Amino acid sequence: MVILNAAFAPAKFRFRVDGITYAVDSVNGNAVSEKWLVSQNRKGGWTTLNLFIVSNARGREGSCTRPTPENPLEHDGCIVASGFLPRGDRPIDSGVPEYNLGISAVHEVGHWFGLLHPFESYQCDLNDDCLTTGDLVCDTAPQATESTTCDLTKDSCLGNGPDNVSNFMDYSPHAW
- Percent helix, strand, coil in the chain, to 5, is 25, 5, 70
From the candidates 74, 108, 120, 146, give the one annotated as an active-site residue: 108
> SS3 of 78, please?
strand
- The helix/strand count (H/E) of the chain reads as 3, 3
Q: Identify whether the C-beta of residue 98 lies closer than 8 Å to the C-beta of residue 173.
A: yes
Rounded to whole angstroms, what are the CA distances from 101 to 3, 9, 54, 116, 140?
A: 9, 17, 16, 21, 23
Query: Backbone phi, then psi, for 15, in 5-degree steps?
Result: -110, 150
Q: What is the DSSP string of 119-146?
A: TTTSSPPGGG-TTTSTTS-TTS---SS-
Active-site residue, 108 included: yes
> SS3 of 24, please?
coil
What residues act catalytically? 108
